[in-house]
Amino acid sequence: QKEVEQNSGPLSVPEGAIASLNCTYSDRVSQSFFWYRQYSGKSPELIMSIYSNGDKEDGRFTAQLNKASQYVSLLIRDSQPSDSATYLCAVNDQAGTALIFGKGTTLSVSS
Amino acid sequence: EPEVTQTPSHQVTQMGQEVILRCVPISNHLYFYWYRQILGQKVEFLVSFYNNEISEKSEIFDDQFSVERPDGSNFTLKIRSTKLEDSAMYFCASSEALTSYGYTFGSGTRLTVV
């Protein structure tokens, strides 16, 4: 059973702080990793994708991947109240067409 | 910005009835997907579709479910005989290539079975 695990939170940070979100996955053959943001009652929105070990930066977001530890994380710098949402980690399955999602971490940024 | 369109946004149906959820994927995308999210739970894969056939399906996607691309633009999910436990948000998604590039999700259809 392929699993993607996330701490459900809530993770509370003050405005301007760095939010750190973590995810582990069970399937060693996974090749593609994604972070989605989901506001309450809305659909998931792709924020970042990462495929190679190391860091990938896009604006205030940095994704980090460590395949040896089967670990992927998302850092949000200068957190804003509008970043308050549930962040979903997703990993492609072995066949390559499906994404396996974690349950998500709820982030709350206070002003 | 191109988007995936889903209709209806909310559907209420009686248990045992058939429902069809509709989606218009992004026009140049080749891969289409259905996911569902039961309230408070994780997003779950149902089925992927490419070149007019199912590429992959999950254990959830049993004989009660079917998908179809009836024309060049629509992609539908049919649930033949709905059960209470089918109540969920159903998301359609599409992508230009395989999952390696991530998906664009539609806004979802909230299905309520009573």
- Touching A: B residues 29-68, CB under 8 Å: 31, 33, 41-45, 48, 50, 55-56, 58
pLDDT tens sequence across B2-24: 899 999 999 999 999 999 999 99
Amino acid letter for position B104: T
CA-to-CA distance for A60 and A54, rounded, in angstroms?
17
Residue A95 has pLDDT above 80, yes or no: no
Question: What would the pLDDT profile of A7-61 be if each residue is shown by its tens digit?
Answer: 888 999 999 999 999 999 998 888 899 999 999 999 999 999 999 999 999 999 9
Average pLDDT over residues A78-103: 92
What's the confidence (pLDDT) of residue A87?
98
- pLDDT band at A94, cuts 50/70/90? confident
Q: How far is B102 from chain A (nearest CA, A)?
A: 7
Residue-by-residue pLDDT tens, chain B, 114 positions: 789 999 999 999 999 999 999 999 998 899 999 999 999 999 999 999 999 999 999 999 999 999 999 887 899 999 999 999 999 999 999 998 765 667 899 999 999 999
Give dist(CA A79, CA B26) in Å, integer: 31
Residue-level pLDDT at B71 = 87
Q: How far apart are CA B75 and CA B46, in angstroms?
A: 14
pLDDT for B112 = 98
Say whether B99 sits in a helix, a strand or coil.
Answer: helix
**What would you measure as the largest C-alpha separation in chain B, in angstroms?**
38
Give the Cα separation of B100 and B60 in Å (integer).
23
Task: Identify which of A43, A88, A96 has the shortest CB distance to residue B99.
Answer: A96
Per-residue pLDDT at B44: 97
Taking the C-alpha atoms of residue B91 and residue B36, their distance in angstroms, rounded to an integer, is: 6
